[in-house]
Structure 1
Amino acid sequence: MDRRVLPVPMDAATMAEFRQRGQIPEEVEKDIGTVLSYIHYALPDAPVSGEARLTAVPPDDDVDRVSLLPDALLHRIVSLLPVKDAARTAALSTRWREVWVSTPLVFVDADLLPAGQSNSSSGADVAREEARAVTFAVSRVLAAHPGPFRRLHLTSSLMDQYQGLLASWLQILAMKGIQELILVNRPWPADLSLPATFFGMATLTRLYLGLWKFPSTADLPRGVCFPNLRELGFSLIGITEEDIEFVLARSPVLETLCLQANTLERYRVASRSLRCVVMIGCPQDVDLVNTPRLERLILLQSCGSSMRVRIARAPSLRAVGYLDLGQHVLEIGNTVIKAGTRASPSTMIPSVKILALQVHFGVRNEAKMLPSFLRCFPNVETLHLQSRNTKDLTGKLNLKFWYDAGAIECIQSRITVMIFRGFQAARGEINFLKFCLENARMLKKLIIVSTKGRFASIDEANSAVKPLFTTKWACQCCSLVVLESACSEGSMNWNFERGSDFSLVDPFAIIMQASWIDISASS
């Protein structure tokens, strides 16, 4: 279900303020709408669906069989209903009222919006009044339910004139044992500060914040901590390096950290409990100082400028990507990896089994970096490559180019699965794939995924990969599969939950749809 929420339309005073700054209010609103969509897309899915409908065949008698169900099952039913429907069950009978008040609250405030409002515009005054109505309804729900509060998605209220109300919400959440909270500001203003009562929610196990200014931690008492917090996400948060280090240090069981386009230019990550770090719209500097349990480092949608990725201590790291060879400067220990960097124990991370890289095969300097990056991860078994299209070609890479780069251990003796996305059938791509097929002795499957619409027919796709069959493959049992992606070029279906879901062995294995091309062959 699409739960994206549009920004509340500006009032006259806010519009006048933007005009005084030389900005066009309508364009600013459009940009903020894009930002909110960006945030909501990355957030965890809501736990209930407002589109669900409960129906039943009329009974032959007057027996209330639903009320005869066990309490545990009734609690489960109520917990899956949108809050309006869940609260209405209290009117059915005394027993149902007890079920409502004794079921841990699951609440998505977007369900309180008028039907269709979240994805369509209405008059500014009407939309602001609807947002205020949601705000007051949230207050009533929080006050009416005795707790505990299991999971709340608060993304649709208008907090502009109700900052005191927000502080009281956070206090109630702390008192009633909030476990999972998704709290996104629905501007205006866009830089609203979270009240200090935020630090009282010690029962939190999962927290996602979007479009807030983070409160200062400088003067907080020593005892403030999040002892149960296992999952934390910040999206477009105004925060200092000191504040994020404070939160990490006070979250002793934190396993997943998700960061999206925040104000920091540098993240220094030190945590003995973290298992997964996901970054969407990355800063200029990521420094894994001390992360002994970290298993996944996921980097997506670079900002367009150079970014340093330093891995100092991460002995359990298993999955890394997408490293962008055009934008990411990889540093292992104290060594910056460059084209031609010789492999040594100090420049390798042997624990990594799954690696994802982005490269322009038509840009010679990027292609020269590929062997050096691969040598840093000698035990990779699954390699994801995203081929990036460019009009600024700086060299034609023949097969000799790859052989001149020297042996690559993971290709020769480790990689069993290779997924090559964004295939354009360019010369540089074909020659690299030939090099891999001629040297990858353990390769069992090569999956080539073309961009949507790249090939007009199966015959054209067959023709594009035909050169790969003219060379001698190192592994006689390797199979080749060619697919067409259901997504257009540059798009990637991803949210925080995908990266932090440890039931998925490979976090980069996005399911391919529209696989109308399927070739399987052995050399």
Structure 2
Amino acid sequence: METLAAARRAKRRKLEAAESPEQESEANILPLPATSAPDSSPPATLGEEPGAGGEEEDWVDRISCLPDAILGEVISLLPTKDAARTQILATRWRHLWRSAPLNLDGGDLLVTINVVSRILSAHRGPGRRFRFPAQHLQDHPATVDAWLRSPALDSLQEIDCFATDGLKLPPPPASTFRFSSSLCVATFSHCHLSDDITQSLQFPRLKKLALQRVIISEDSLHSIIAASPVLEGLLLCRIFGCRCVRINSASLTSIGVSAVYDGTMTILEEFIVEDAPCLKRILYHRSPRTGTGLRVSVISAPNLETLGCLSYADGGSSRLALGSTIIEPCRIKEFWIINSTMPACTIKILAVYISNLSLDVIINLMRCFPCLEKLYIQSCQDGDKNLWRRKHHNLIKGLDIRLKTVVLNKYYRGIKSQVNFATFFVLNAKMLESMTFQCERYTVTARFLAEQLQLEKRASRCARFYFTKRCRHEFLHINHAHDLSISDPFEYVEAGGGACLSFE
């Protein structure tokens, strides 16, 4: 047993030495030379000690016994550096990285240009994923073109030209679109997609498309969507060159859209969902500083369940129309129209930004969305008194509040308007399961909050109430629009600075 333990410790030291940051260099992420001395360790076992008796079977390296094709798929899921390092595990692994589907992240390497070029020249392909900075389109266009023509990227499944602020918008090389028949995921940032390139493209396997700070005409964008019959996720982040986008897709399930003002280029002003039978969520991002009021129209989306973020602000002159219903007071910053062919009763998740925390606005929203289950509220100041006991006495009797989750993303200080707002849900939401508050300081105690909100009188006995010093929901960010595995894109919380208090 002592011999076996010593072997384990030796193996652990060897692995730690291989992963030591001090040994990271350009050589660590390149293929090992073909003339390298073979690894003398047995390929079929890890930590095996001759004569270990009955324990020998427990240390058999069953992973290395898998076929090359399966091991190659596993390696292709690893980050670039880790995938390259699998060559040092054993002789059995030495050749696998060269032939595994290549997952090459050009933004994750220390010497980006040289290392990417050397990896592409040494790898046999095929390509799984290639990620590189949009900056290279501007600074090294010939190098990027050579990369994209490399046989190592044949049958590429995912291309990600990730964003960098402050760039010009050059056109990508024509070689970018030689993968159109194999691409499943595509992200293009800070470039110009011209009509002569896009009009003839077909994307039979494309499921996710993201365009970020891209110049593209209305005809080109509509052509790409029409040429993608299995497209599920579409992200349009601050695109230029088209004033109106019309969505007609039988496959789209998630859309993220944002607009930004620019005095020199045509900006997106109108977004219309004409026919999207599978669409489940629309996520709208409006930057408080640079955003524009976008007119969003939903004509036919019978399965739409998630909306956000609706933005209310004092002084706004637009309105939210839901079929024949108009939300009052008319302070909504964007103009949303939901046609009567898309009943509002399908909406279950809603995120809203309100400059002044107003219970009247929220109650009007609940009237329009009678089946609402999750409500995320972000506000920056307290303006209304939020009195409701007499004002909404008759309403409470007839309003069927189905809310299960309420998140108030605002510093809770326990002032009267905040207490009134919160107690409305505490005392009237009979199906409530959780309510979360962002508190201003650590001095808020459980007893103080329980007494203030009258938790002993809560309508839902199974409800839980959470208070945290920092709880920032990403209402104003739409990266989650591109992750189709997330059922609730507003659920993610960036928490820190103290534990949550809960009441049962």
User: Above 0.5 in TM-score?
Assistant: yes
Is the 2:299–2:342 contact (alpha carbons within 8 Å) kept by the matching residues of 1?
Answer: no
CA offsets, 1:80-137, max 9 Å, x none? Answer: 55546755767999865642332111111123325xxxxxxxxxxxxxxxxxxx3354
The answer to whether structure 1 residue 456 and structure 2 residue 442 are counterparts is yes
CA offsets, 1:218-265, max 9 Å, x none? Answer: 8833xx211100011112212222222121111110001122222255
Q: Which among 216, 220, 238 is matched to residue 243 of structure 1?
A: 220
The answer to whether structure 1 residue 145 and structure 2 residue 128 are counterparts is no
* Residue correspondence of structure 1 range 206-221 to structure 2 within 5 A: 206-217=185-196, 220-221=199-200
Partner secondary structure for residue 177 of structure 1? coil
CA distance, structure 1, for counterparts of residue 359 and residue 293 of structure 2:
17
CA distance, structure 2, for counterparts of residue 112 and residue 299 of structure 1:
33
My pick for the range that moved more, 209-218 or 156-165, is 156-165
- Counting matched residue pairs gives 432
* Residue correspondence of structure 1 range 183-332 to structure 2 within 5 A: 183-184=161-162, 190-201=168-179, 202-217=181-196, 220-221=199-200, 224-263=201-240, 264=242, 266-279=244-257, 284-302=269-287, 303-326=290-313, 329-332=319-322
Q: What one-letter code is carried by the residue in structure 2 that aligns with 1:516?
A: A
Is the 2:349–2:375 contact (alpha carbons within 8 Å) kept by the matching residues of 1?
Answer: yes
CA distance, structure 2, for counterparts of residue 186 and residue 344 of structure 1:
38
Q: Which among 84, 103, 113 is matched to residue 106 of structure 1?
A: 103
After superposition, the Cα gap between the structure-2 partners of 1:334 and 1:168, relative to the gap in structure 1 and judged at 3 Å, is farther
Q: Which among 412, 419, 422 is matched to residue 407 of structure 2?
A: 419
Q: What one-letter code is carried by the residue in structure 2 that aligns with 1:469?
A: Q
CA distance, structure 2, for counterparts of residue 408 and residue 279 of structure 1:
38
Is the 1:308–1:329 contact (alpha carbons within 8 Å) kept by the matching residues of 2?
Answer: no
Q: What one-letter code is carried by the residue in structure 2 that aligns with 1:479?
A: A
After superposition, the Cα gap between the structure-2 partners of 1:510 and 1:220, relative to the gap in structure 1 and judged at 3 Å, is closer
Deviation at 1:463, TM superposition (A): 3.1
My pick for the range that moved more, 398-407 or 422-431, is 398-407
CA offsets, 1:374-398, max 9 Å, x none? Answer: 2221111222222x1237x4x4332
Is the 1:384–1:418 contact (alpha carbons within 8 Å) kept by the matching residues of 2?
Answer: yes
CA offsets, 1:402-433, max 9 Å, x none? Answer: 51794697x62422232222143343332233
Equivalent in the alignment of 1:428: 417
After superposition, the Cα gap between the structure-2 partners of 1:401 and 1:310, relative to the gap in structure 1 and judged at 3 Å, is farther
CA distance, structure 1, for counterparts of residue 86 and residue 404 of structure 2:
54
CA distance, structure 1, for counterparts of residue 85 and residue 500 of structure 2:
51
Equivalent in the alignment of 2:490: 508
Partner secondary structure for residue 437 of structure 1? helix
Is the 2:233–2:482 contact (alpha carbons within 8 Å) kept by the matching residues of 1?
Answer: yes
Is the 2:43–2:90 contact (alpha carbons within 8 Å) kept by the matching residues of 1?
Answer: no
Q: What one-letter code is carried by the residue in structure 2 that aligns with 1:107?
A: L
Deviation at 1:297, TM superposition (A): 1.4
Equivalent in the alignment of 1:339: 329
Equivalent in the alignment of 1:13: none
After superposition, the Cα gap between the structure-2 partners of 1:193 and 1:439, relative to the gap in structure 1 and judged at 3 Å, is same
Q: Normalising to structure 1: TM-score of the pair? A: 0.69
Deviation at 1:313, TM superposition (A): 1.1
Structure 1 or 2, whichever has the larger Rg, is: 2
Partner secondary structure for residue 360 of structure 1? strand
My pick for the range that moved more, 249-258 or 374-383, is 374-383
Equivalent in the alignment of 2:376: 384
Deviation at 1:466, TM superposition (A): 3.1
Is the 1:354–1:380 contact (alpha carbons within 8 Å) kept by the matching residues of 2?
Answer: yes
CA offsets, 1:181-226, max 9 Å, x none? Answer: 11136688521212344333221000111221222258833xx211
Structure 1 unmatched runs, 5+: 1-48, 55-60, 115-133
Is the 1:233–1:259 contact (alpha carbons within 8 Å) kept by the matching residues of 2?
Answer: yes
Cα root mean square deviation, aligned: 4.1
Equivalent in the alignment of 2:335: none
After superposition, the Cα gap between the structure-2 partners of 1:314 and 1:280, relative to the gap in structure 1 and judged at 3 Å, is same
Give the structure with the higher percent strand.
2
The answer to whether structure 1 residue 518 and structure 2 residue 501 are counterparts is yes
CA distance, structure 2, for counterparts of residue 476 and residue 188 of structure 1:
51
CA distance, structure 1, for counterparts of residue 450 and residue 243 of structure 2:
42
Equivalent in the alignment of 2:42: 63
Structure 2 unmatched runs, 5+: 1-18, 29-39, 46-60, 261-267, 332-337
Q: Normalising to structure 2: TM-score of the pair? A: 0.72
After superposition, the Cα gap between the structure-2 partners of 1:477 and 1:464, relative to the gap in structure 1 and judged at 3 Å, is closer
After superposition, the Cα gap between the structure-2 partners of 1:482 and 1:189, relative to the gap in structure 1 and judged at 3 Å, is closer
Equivalent in the alignment of 1:179: 157
After superposition, the Cα gap between the structure-2 partners of 1:408 and 1:154, relative to the gap in structure 1 and judged at 3 Å, is farther
